[in-house]
Structure 1
Amino acid sequence: MVFSSAIFLYVFLPITLGLYWALTYRLRNIWLLIASLTFYAWGEPKYLLLMAASIIFNWIIGLLIARASSRKLQFVILTFGVTINLLALIYYKYAFFLTSNLDSLINFLLGKHTSIVETVLPIGISFFTFHSISYIVDIYRKEADALRNPLDMGLYISLFPQLVAGPIIRYHDIAEQILHRRNTLERFSSGVERFAFGLGKKVLIANVLGQAADSIFALPPEGISTPMAWFGIVCYTLQIYFDFSGYSDMAIGLARMFGFELTENFNYPYISTSVREFWRRWHISLSTWFRDYLYIPLGGNRTSPLRMRINLFTVFLLCGLWHGASWNFVFWGAFHGSLLVLERTRIGKWLDAMPKFVGWIYTIMMVMIGWVFFRADSFSYACSYVAAMFGFTKASWFTPQIGFYLNAQVFATIALGAILSTPLAISLARDWRERRFPSHSNEPLPANILALSAFAQNPNYVYIRLIAVLAILTICAAEMAAGTYNPFIYFRF
């Protein structure tokens, strides 16, 4: 079930919200768990048992760690739990990739074939596996207490706003909210607004640019001219940001409607002036998860320079592999890891000394080259596409057919996306608010549109925000009714 689908917006969400707010506090978690499992079963019913097994297994491991008599025994139990979680992820996500590559290698060396394991990837397994590992590690580190009720554990793992594409919730960040949280009108209204803005990002920007990017990436690479190649990757660069950040906004907004506060996942990554900064702004919940649960345990920055660089490269190699079982993602992770290692040398100091505009050009170029491998269907296609970007192709620079893809709607959407991918729009909105409604100048954007205090101080301010949200929802509803392009990129991870 997709957040931007009619069945979710007009059936699932109203029923779930209505019953949630009608029930007593003690029953709300149970209802939310039922709704979350229904949400998951809607897309992948046969793997509901896998999720249930993961919930029960990690709940038991958490209790065993909490009750273990010695630190050594706790570590043994933790190691067992992490191993089982990773083995399940490896089997379902990487078995085909590993066995097919092994078959190719054996066939090349010995002229024989081996059996290939074919599995279907369960929706969201990468995310709920990381949630599970976070749970048992945080208990081992004594950063949070083990949950006594398996239903509460089930809610942590399966909470539907973040279930299939994040943000990745670390257990110690949400443990208290599972048992004790405040459901207020202000938080609910803030969630509605955040959800509306996320839906607008997805439907009005990402979907439009996604169709253009898909059309160009479907062309044979030898026939793609340099302008066409750059146009295609610009569309995809904006598409993946607004698709994923839009999903994160919707997830955060939905969670607020139910009283939860999830971690932020994006902070204008495309204004970064280094790849280091990019990863502090892009998919924040993933990069901090790898930092806290892998990079720091490997030694982090406290080791020798050589060991630190090896650790950094290893983490991003695994980060790429986490995204998908293909050589494209392996290269993408290795590419970013190599750039981060280089930026830890004198090259990084030289880059820091350059004008910020130079750093921005370098960063956005590297990010876009990386996105080619992230988007392309094969490694060879990605290499050919990058060659086309830099003129190493037989295609003519003059491509009149580019007008077929770059129509007025796409051009306007690129311009809008370029503006909204920077803090410029928020800055202008804040300046306007300070002049027009100075009493609200200290509120964050977006603010609570239905907050009674805000309404009492200045009803016009609330009306304007409410009209903006309703307008976005109405336009999105019309676009969704007219079109069929609706997939979220990160659903396949």
Structure 2
Amino acid sequence: MVFSSIAFIMYFMPVFFLVYYILPASYKNAWLFLASLGFYYYGVRGNPGYLLLMIMSVVVNFVAGKLIEAQKTKRARKAWLVVGIVYDLGWLILFKYLGFLIENLNALFGAMHVKVQLETWNLILPIGISFYTFQIISYLVDVYRRETKAEKSLISLGTYLCMFPQLIAGPIVNYHLIQEQLHKRKHSMVKVESGLKVFALGLAYKVLLANRVGHLWTEVTAIGYESISTPLAWMSIVAYSLQLYFDFYGYSLMAIGLGRMMGFDFPQNFNNPYMAVSMTDFWRRWHMTLGGWFREYVYIPLGGNRGGFAKTVRNMFVVWLLTGLWHGASWNFVLWGLLLFVLLFVEKAGLGKVLERHKALGHIYMILWIPLSWLVFVITDLSQLGIYLQKLFPFFGSTGTVLFQGDYLKYGKTYGIYLVLGILFATGVQEKLLKKNKNRLWVILLLLALFWASVYCMYLGMDDPFLYFRF
């Protein structure tokens, strides 16, 4: 079940909130936990064992948190922390990376003429496992550091880990940020109204913009990269860049809106990233909760920037290699992470200061690098990546035969309006306008119109899954 579906909006959401608001405060977490398990089961009903995996994660980490807190010495606390993290990462590695590892070991054995072939595992990735694994690790580490107390209620910890608004694709919410809200939170009509507005805007971004502009990338992929012109190649990767942003940003807004309706304040996940003037600036604005997690639980524990330039570069390398692998078990994600590391290293070495000082130059720089970085991100076949790069930069080599001349004009007529709107809305100008006039009648009517237009599109079958579900 996805937020942008008739099943969620017309059935799950009304029933959930009707019961949620009727129940006394002491029962709200139990209902939220139970409903979240039901929500998750609907998504994994083809593999019901994944629901059991989720429940086991709650129970095991509840016990691990208790054991970590009970230890008198740091060494003993660390031992139980390691046990908990090994358990959590073990499942992630099994489902997400074992097949990739075996595939590459078999390729290595073949190259070395070793007559050994390991059996390939093709396991279906449990929905949201990358997100909820990081969330529960943050809980264990916070308890280990004595920054928070171990949760006394299994229901409350289950509510934190399984909460359906951010279970599948974030935002990644560190436990200490909402610990107090898990036990005592305020509900008001102001929060409900605000949450509904945010939800409606996120839904419109997803259904009316991301889904539509993303079809250009889908069509070009179906045609074959070798058969498109250079202008269409640029149009298509820009379309994918916009689709990815408004798809994920739309989901994050919907999650924040749903959380606000329940009395939770989830952190923002995006801050107009396409207006960044450097890649460093971009990653302060894009998927901010993931960046914050890596900073707090990987980069700083490694030493951050405290050990001199060489160690800082090493720590950056580790973070961006892991960031790439977190997004997927494929060599293109490794390459993507390394590309980002190189760009950030060059900016840290001096280019970043130039770009910050000359913002017009920085925007031009990012107009090039944003779509190029997403190109490496989206194309998993490295040979196809090479073909696409030749299409973007035809002066570097042969570009193949274009299927028909003027293809960009044809697709421009269909998708041009979505490209223009996507580029305009990526500046954030519309949200500044909505925020300034949030209590005006026309804003309420506009959001209502966007909501029902989105529902109509979903009724017609335009309810594409969120891109980040596969991570």
Alignment TM-score, normalising by the size of structure 2: 0.95
Aligned AA (1:356) = K
Aligned AA (1:179) = H
Report if the CA contact (8 A) 2:211-2:462 is conserved: no
**Structure 2 partner of 1:487:** 465
Q: Distance in 1 between matches of 2:356 and 2:450?
A: 40
Partner-residue secondary structure (3-state), 2:339: helix
Change (3 A) 1:10 1:429: closer
Report if the CA contact (8 A) 2:457-2:463 is conserved: no
Stretch of structure 1 that moved more, 7-16 or 68-77: 68-77
Q: Distance in 1 between matches of 2:435 and 2:323?
A: 36
User: Pairwise mapping of residues 36-115 of structure 1 onto structure 2 (< 5 A)?
Assistant: 36-44=36-44, 45-112=48-115, 113-115=117-119
Report if the CA contact (8 A) 1:213-1:236 is conserved: yes
Q: CA deviation at 1:398?
A: 7.8
Q: Distance in 2 between matches of 1:133 and 1:94?
A: 18
Report if the CA contact (8 A) 1:210-1:239 is conserved: yes
Query: Does residue 420 of structure 1 match 2:398?
Result: no
Aligned AA (2:241) = T
Q: Distance in 2 between matches of 1:487 and 1:361?
A: 32
Query: Does residue 467 of structure 1 match 2:445?
Result: yes
Given the alignment, which residue of 366, 376, 381 partners 2:384? 381
User: Pairwise mapping of residues 79-228 of structure 1 onto structure 2 (< 5 A)?
Assistant: 79-112=82-115, 113-228=117-232
Change (3 A) 1:91 1:145: same
Report if the CA contact (8 A) 2:211-2:243 is conserved: yes
**Structure 1 partner of 2:455:** 477
Aligned AA (2:304) = G
Q: Distance in 1 between matches of 2:37 and 2:469?
A: 17
Query: Does residue 394 of structure 1 match 2:397?
Result: no
Report if the CA contact (8 A) 1:209-1:414 is conserved: yes
- Give the paired residue count: 464
Q: CA deviation at 1:183?
A: 1.0
Q: Distance in 2 between matches of 1:398 and 1:299?
A: 55
User: Pairwise mapping of residues 166-315 of structure 1 onto structure 2 (< 5 A)?
Assistant: 166-315=170-319
Q: CA deviation at 1:160?
A: 0.1
Aligned AA (2:37) = L
Q: CA deviation at 1:395?
A: 3.8
Q: Deviations over 1:3-51 (max 9, x none)?
A: 0001000000010000000111111111111100000000113300001
Report if the CA contact (8 A) 2:195-2:260 is conserved: yes
Change (3 A) 1:217 1:22: same
Report if the CA contact (8 A) 1:106-1:114 is conserved: no
Structure 1: state its 5+ residue gaps. Answer: 434-446, 450-460
Report if the CA contact (8 A) 1:124-1:165 is conserved: yes
Report if the CA contact (8 A) 1:314-1:337 is conserved: no
Q: CA deviation at 1:414?
A: 1.2
Q: Distance in 1 between matches of 2:70 and 2:208?
A: 51
Q: Distance in 1 between matches of 2:337 and 2:186?
A: 40
Report if the CA contact (8 A) 1:226-1:397 is conserved: no
Aligned AA (2:416) = F
Change (3 A) 1:489 1:430: closer
Stretch of structure 1 that moved more, 252-261 or 219-228: 219-228
Q: Distance in 2 between matches of 1:227 and 1:337?
A: 29
Aligned AA (1:475) = A
Alignment TM-score, normalising by the size of structure 1: 0.91
Q: Distance in 2 between matches of 1:412 and 1:347?
A: 35
Q: CA deviation at 1:172?
A: 0.6
Q: Distance in 2 between matches of 1:9 and 1:396?
A: 43
Partner-residue secondary structure (3-state), 1:297: helix
Report if the CA contact (8 A) 1:223-1:394 is conserved: yes
Report if the CA contact (8 A) 1:228-1:399 is conserved: no
Change (3 A) 1:143 1:289: same
Report if the CA contact (8 A) 1:309-1:341 is conserved: yes
Q: Distance in 1 between matches of 2:463 and 2:52?
A: 30
Q: CA deviation at 1:89?
A: 0.8
Aligned AA (1:39) = F
**Structure 1 partner of 2:27:** 27
Structure 2: state its 5+ residue gaps. Answer: none
**Structure 2 partner of 1:12:** 12
Q: CA deviation at 1:465?
A: 2.9
**Structure 2 partner of 1:454:** none
Q: Distance in 1 between matches of 2:453 and 2:167?
A: 27
Report if the CA contact (8 A) 1:217-1:232 is conserved: no
User: Pairwise mapping of residues 306-325 of structure 1 onto structure 2 (< 5 A)?
Assistant: 306-325=310-329
Stretch of structure 1 that moved more, 395-404 or 263-272: 395-404
Report if the CA contact (8 A) 2:241-2:374 is conserved: yes
% identical equivalent positions: 42
Q: CA deviation at 1:111?
A: 4.5
Q: Distance in 2 between matches of 1:338 and 1:93?
A: 26
Report if the CA contact (8 A) 1:233-1:368 is conserved: yes
Stretch of structure 1 that moved more, 182-191 or 213-222: 213-222
Q: Deviations over 1:336-376 (max 9, x none)?
A: 111111111133334344x2121112123112111112212
Query: Does residue 361 of structure 1 match 2:357?
Result: no
Q: CA deviation at 1:397?
A: 11
Q: CA deviation at 1:285?
A: 0.3
Report if the CA contact (8 A) 2:69-2:150 is conserved: yes
Q: CA deviation at 1:66?
A: 1.1
